[in-house]
Amino acid sequence: MSIPLLDLKAQYNTLKSEILAAIHSVLDSGSYIMGGNVRALEESIAEMCAVKHGIGVASGTDALLLSLIALGIGEGDEVITTPYTFFSTAEVISKVRATPVFVDIDPRTFNLDVKLVEKNITSRTKAVIPVHIFGQTADLDPLLKLANNYNLKIIEDACQAIGALYKGKPAGSFGNTGCFSFYPTKNLGGYGDGGLIVTNDDTLAEKLRLLRVHGSKKRYYHLVPGYNSRLDEIQAAVLRVKLKYLAQWSEARRSKAALYNRLLQESAIDIPYVEEWNESVYHLYVVRSKERDVLKSRLAEAKINSGIYYPLPLHLQEVYRALGYKSGDLPEAERASCEALALPLYPEMTEDTVNQVVKVLLES
Ligand SMILES: *Cc1c(COP(=O)(O)O)cnc(C)c1O
C-alpha cells in the first residue's frame, strides 16, 4: 500500500452524499454566479475570523492581487515579503508593477523573520505581506507595530492557515486584509479554484467588491476597470459543507502532528517548532534534516510520498534575476530549501500510517 502526502479522495468519501446534495441544489436553483451560497460562505468565514467583511474571489492569488490594487499599491512601490512561500505571494507584487523586497526567514518557524524587516524599510515601502507558512502565523504583533510606525499596509497571506490562531485570535483578522485560498489541497479546499478576502475596513471591502466584478455595483454600470474574479456557487456550496468540519479536521491534523512529534523527538530529524502563542493548523507537517534527500528517497522506496516545499527560494528564481539577489543573500531560506521535508499528513490519516512513515524514516 502506498501512502500519499494528502488523500483528497478519503475526505470526499466521508462527505460524498452531503457534497453531491449541495452541488445538486445549486444545479437545480439555476443561480450559478454570485448567489446565496457565496454570500452565506462570505458571512460564515467573516464570522469565524471575527471580522466585518468576507469577499469571495476566484483564487487565493486573486485575493492577494485585489488586496494590493485596492490598497493603491503599484509602480515604484516596494512590498516586503518572504522568499520562502508559493510564488503567488511575490507574483502579485510584480503584477501591480511594484517591487518585492525579500527578507530572510526565522529558521525555526520558516516564517518571515520579523526582526529583519525594519532595516529593509525604505521611503518606497508601502506594505508587508507576511505568509503564515505551513499553517502557523508569522509573528504579527511586532509587524503591526512597524506598520503603525512607518504607515505600512499589512496583507496577510493566510492561504495555508485558515483557522490558525495567533495569541488566541484568528489568522486573517490582523492585517488590512487577510487572504485565503480554496485550492483543492488547502485545509479548506474546493473542487476547483477559489479564494476569499476578509477585512474590517468598510471602504476597502466596497472597493474589493467592485474590483472582483468588472468595477460594477449595478449591472452594466461601471465605476472603475476591474476584473472577473468571482467565486462560483458550486464551489461555495461545497465549501459551506466542508466548513462545518474544518475545526475537527484541524484538530485531527494537530493530533497526528503531535504523534509524529512524539515518535521523532529523540531522533536526528528536527520536528516542527510552533511558537507557544500560536495554534497551528498544520497545513503541512514539515521536518528538517541535513539528510533530507536521503530520507526522501528512502520514503519513496517504501512507496511513501513526501514533499519539498520549496526547492528554490523566490529571490533566486529566474523571474527575479533582474533584482540582483545572489546565492547566500538570504541564507536561512536557502538552507530551508535544502533541508525541509513535508511528511504525509491529512485529517483522515490513521495513527498506524503515521507509525509506518516514522518506521521507514528511522531505519538506517
Ligand atoms: C496556495 C497559495 C496561494 C495561492 O492560492 P491559489 O488559490 O492557488 O491562487 C498563495 N499563497 C500561498 C502561501 C499559498 O499556499
Q: 3-state DSSP call for residue 84?
A: coil
Q: Ligand 1 within 6 A of 195 CB?
A: yes
Per the CB < 8 A criterion, the answer to whether 159 and 179 are in contact is yes
Q: Ligand 1 within 6 A of 131 CB?
A: yes
Nearest-atom index, ligand 1, CA of 194: 7
**pLDDT reported for residue 308:** 98
Q: Ligand 1 within 6 A of 85 CB?
A: yes
**pLDDT reported for residue 1:** 80
* Nearest alpha carbon, ligand 1 atom 10: 88
Neighbours of 229 (CB within 10 A): 21
**pLDDT reported for residue 39:** 98
Q: Ligand 1 within 6 A of 61 CB?
A: yes
pLDDT digits (tens, 9 = 90+) for 214-265: 999 999 999 999 999 999 999 999 999 999 999 999 999 999 999 999 999 9
Q: Which residues of the chain have pLDDT under 50?
A: none
Nearest residue to 12 (alpha-carbon basis) of 177, 169, 184, 155 = 184
* Nearest alpha carbon, ligand 1 atom 5: 60
Task: Determine the residue of 82, 129, 160, 185 to mutate for testing ligand 1's pocket, defined as the one with the most ligand atoms within 8 A of the Cβ atom.
Answer: 160
Q: How far is the CA of 35 from the centre of ligand 1 (A)?
A: 24
**pLDDT reported for residue 231:** 97
